[in-house]
Amino acid sequence: MKKLEPQLLGESPEFLAVLRTVGLLAPTDVTVLITGESGTGKELIAHHIAANSRRAQGPLISINCAALPETLAESELFGHGKGAFTGAMERRPGRVQSASGGTLFLDEISELPLSIQPKLLRLLENGECQVVGQPQVSRADVRIVAATNKDLAEMVRQGTFRADLFFRLNIVPLELPPLRQRQGDIPLLLEAFIQNFSKQHNTPSPVISRPALQILQSYLWPGNIRELRNWCERTCILHRGEMIEPHHLPKEILAKESWNDERGNVLLHLPEKGINLANLEQNLIQQALQRSSGNKSRAARLLGLTRDTFLYRLKKVAVSL
Amino acid sequence: MHTSSQWISFFIAGLFSSAHCLVMCGAIVGALTMSLPLSVREQPRTLLGYLAAYNSGRILSYALAGFLAGSFGEMVVRSFGLDHGHSNVLLWISFLFLVGIGLYIAGWLPGVALLEKTGIGLWNRIDPLARSLLPVNSIARAVVFGILWGWFPCGLTYTVLIWSATTGNAIQGAVAMMAFGVGTLPGIFAAGFFSGRMFLFRRSLKLKRGLGILIILSAALIVFQNLGHETNAHPSHAKPVEMCIE
């Protein structure tokens, strides 16, 4: 097995279970669907799978499906022949063909246009693909690894993602836990990132004080490991060799700790652009439910509400459990 | 406690842990199924043969682990002279383990997952061997892969293994772990056959809660049934309760 990136370090049971599963399925040629919030390390896992597969010597082609314009998506993926459409001056191989003998990583698969989804399904089922403007079907020897931060099952229910493609992708699902569910891993990740960036920038490593560490561990890290990594890089540059105390931490991290001051004054500042209060309420309710493992009484207490008020608001925002 | 009740308890623990098995091993089962040649996957009988081979190997490892745990339990029972009149103690230990497993499956006792750490060292040694067997292309290889897969770190399996030690007998420990493994089969087989569709259920909190509560209720039922049985068998309570190991 190749050495793990610092972003893939961790000791939480959920994360280790994913890594062990990755180790076992990497040598196979099966399609993998990696799910998880933004910044949880989906792309790194995809790279790790490719690097530990039998196709490690082959190409790894990454495509961000959200960046594919619908009109060009088919030609970009499967290629086009000369004269296939206006402007197709010469034959151009698609990304699928370019990944032949290797791995094709489809990031943000949820954004793949509906019209292309049956063609991807055909590739997954039979390894067949059709170059735009060419009548004959060609074959591609490629392993697909897809990733998304969306709930594809919900998208299938809403009719925005094909059910057959979802079921074909979801045979080997890997779900990366968000960082807020791996609080015990934060010290390990901090140490790895700080060491890494100090070495990279050739600066003495800052040291995190215990009170600062406690705050960092209780912060929810909505941007997950990516946010933690960026904070570490900033800290290594701005506070080289210093002891990091709570006052060194950015406002957004401290805000959670100081939601109310001693007099009960609210310290949450309304951003210039304003906020969507309904979305905020739904998000807070979801977080409270996640933190209380679905226990509504505990979730209500976390939000400073009575159980009845909480149930009323839960019904109002229609949070699915 | 009657041996049959004991095995039923272990079987129930496995059966109602399906949602957990889908989370922990679902991706592995999916990968094992999909890495088989298309000709195998298209023939339900042949596919069933492979799934049976993987799982026979897995259950064989469980039985071996149960044998070792039972031997340890036997040693403890003999050392402390506990081999007479402790059936109620075992009954209540089983009850507590089943309740603990129910709470874990329902998501109310997440600390059980920490037990997984105890098996990581062993798994790190097994993992390269397991990966070298992939892709599996024969039944014999599937059995060997299953044997190795049986040692995949899992908090639930370790809890059941500790519980199997309380049988106080190597053979019964092995049979108890086999019963647990057989209980997990419906969930694992369903993951192999229906793969992508099965994973829709694995995230359902209601399903996890329901299965966890079912395990707890089963534990209560087994206790009451056994206590009732023993009360009928010894109405005067004059004689000590018989040995649990039959």
Query: What was the pLDDT predicted at A266?
Result: 47
Residue in chain A closest to B135 (alpha carbons) equals A28
Query: What was the pLDDT predicted at A283?
Result: 84
Same domain, A26 and A169: yes
pLDDT tens-digit series, residues A268-290 = 656 667 778 888 888 888 888 88
B117 to chain A, any CB pair closer than 8 A? The answer is yes
Ordered DSSP codes for B185-212: HHHHHHHHHHHHHHHHHHT-HHHHHHHH
A266 to chain B, any CB pair closer than 8 A? The answer is no
Q: How far is A202 from chain B (nearest CA, A)?
A: 34
pLDDT tens-digit series, residues A108-137 = 999 999 999 999 999 998 888 888 888 888
Same domain, A129 and A46: yes
> Does the beta-carbon distance from A13 to B199 stay under 8 Å?
no
Same domain, A97 and A166: yes
Whether ipTM exceeds 0.90:
no
Domain annotation covers residue A193 = yes
Q: What is the mean pLDDT of residues B20-31?
A: 81
> Does the beta-carbon distance from B117 to A27 stay under 8 Å?
no
Q: What is the DSSP letter of A151?
A: -
Query: What was the pLDDT predicted at B3?
Result: 66
Same domain, A161 and A15: yes
Query: What was the pLDDT predicted at A124?
Result: 92
Domain annotation covers residue A271 = no
Same domain, A243 and A302: no
List chain A residues with CB under 8 Å of B155.
13
How many distinct structural domains can be found in chain A?
3
Q: Is residue B232 scored above 70 in pLDDT?
A: no
A313 to chain B, any CB pair closer than 8 A? The answer is no
The answer to whether A50 and A145 are in contact (CB under 8 A) is yes
> Does the beta-carbon distance from B31 to A172 stay under 8 Å?
yes
Same domain, A34 and A171: yes
pLDDT tens-digit series, residues B85-132 = 556 776 787 788 888 888 888 878 877 777 878 888 898 899 899 988
CATH number at residue A223: 1.10.8.60
List chain A residues with CB under 8 Å of B131.
23-24, 26-27
* Domain end call among A144, A177, A210: A177
In this complex, how many residue pairs, one in chain A and one in chain B, have their CB atoms less than 8 Å apart?
A: 85
Same domain, A172 and A187: no
Same domain, A69 and A122: yes
B131 to chain A, any CB pair closer than 8 A? The answer is yes
Query: And the tokens for A218?
Result: 């209780």
Same domain, A30 and A54: yes
Query: What was the pLDDT predicted at A106?
Result: 96
- Residue to substitute from A2, A11, A15, A30, interface B, most B β-carbons within 10 A: A30
Query: What was the pLDDT predicted at B238?
Result: 41
Q: How far is A236 from chain B (nearest CA, A)?
A: 32
* Domain end call among A135, A156, A177: A177
Query: What was the pLDDT predicted at B200?
Result: 60
- Compare B157 and B225 and report the one with higher pLDDT: B157
Query: What was the pLDDT predicted at A4?
Result: 63
Angstrom distance (rounded) from CA A309 to CA B2: 49
A20 to chain B, any CB pair closer than 8 A? The answer is yes
A23 to chain B, any CB pair closer than 8 A? The answer is yes
List chain A residues with CB under 8 Å of B42.
none
Same domain, A121 and A236: no
A321 to chain B, any CB pair closer than 8 A? The answer is yes
Query: What was the pLDDT predicted at B244?
Result: 40
A184 to chain B, any CB pair closer than 8 A? The answer is no
With b for 16 or more beta-carbon neighbours within 10 A and e for fewer, the A157-171 pattern comes to eeeebbeebbbbbbb
Q: CA A275 from chain center: how many Å?
A: 24
Residue in chain B closest to A290 (alpha carbons) equals B205
Same domain, A162 and A233: no
Residue-level pLDDT, tens digit, chain A, 321 residues: 556 677 788 888 888 888 888 988 898 889 999 999 999 999 999 999 999 998 999 999 999 999 988 888 888 899 887 776 777 777 888 899 999 999 999 999 999 999 999 999 999 988 888 888 888 888 899 999 999 999 898 899 889 999 999 988 988 889 899 998 888 899 999 999 999 999 999 999 999 999 999 899 888 888 999 999 999 999 999 999 999 998 899 887 887 554 544 444 445 656 667 778 888 888 888 888 888 878 888 888 888 888 888 988 888 877 555
A127 to chain B, any CB pair closer than 8 A? The answer is no
Give kind and range of the element (H or E) at residue A33.
strand A32-35
CATH number at residue A304: 1.10.10
Q: What is the mean pLDDT of residues B140-163?
A: 91
Percent of chain B with pLDDT over 90: 25
Q: Kindly report the CA angle at B245 between B243 and B246, in degrees rounded to 5? A: 100
Domain annotation covers residue A237 = yes
Query: What was the pLDDT predicted at A261?
Result: 47
B113 to chain A, any CB pair closer than 8 A? The answer is yes
Burial of A21 (0-12, 13-18, 19+ CB in 10 A): buried
Domain annotation covers residue A111 = yes
Domain annotation covers residue A266 = no
Q: How many CA atoms lie within 13 A of A279 on its CB side?
A: 3
* Domain end call among A151, A177, A203: A177
B129 to chain A, any CB pair closer than 8 A? The answer is no
Query: What was the pLDDT predicted at B86?
Result: 59
Angstrom distance (rounded) from CA B246 to CA B170: 13
Instruction: Mean pLDDT check: name the lowest of A211-220, B148-157, B223-232.
Output: B223-232
List chain A residues with CB under 8 Å of B23.
17
- Residue to substitute from A126, A171, A319, interface B, most B β-carbons within 10 A: A171
From residue A162, alpha-carbon distances to A193, A309, B66 in Å are 39, 38, 45
pLDDT tens-digit series, residues B179-194 = 999 999 988 888 777 7
Q: How confident is the model at residue B28 (pLDDT cuts 50, 70, 90)?
A: confident
Domain annotation covers residue A262 = no
Q: What range does the domain containing A291 cover? A: 277-317
Query: What was the pLDDT predicted at A224?
Result: 93
Cα-Cα-Cα-Cα dihedral sign, residues A293, B207, B34, B54? positive
Q: Is residue B222 scored above 80 in pLDDT?
A: no
List chain A residues with CB under 8 Å of B141.
none
Phi, psi of A178 (to 5 degrees): -70, 160
Q: How confident is the model at residue B83 (pLDDT cuts 50, 70, 90)?
A: low
In one letter, which amino acid is B192?
Answer: G
Compare CB distances from B195 to A11, A20, A171 and report the shortest one's residue. Answer: A171
Q: Is residue B72 scored above 70 in pLDDT?
A: yes
Compare CB distances from B153 to A14, A20, A26 and report the shortest one's residue. Answer: A20
List chain A residues with CB under 8 Å of B19.
none
Same domain, A144 and A33: yes
Query: What was the pLDDT predicted at B166?
Result: 85
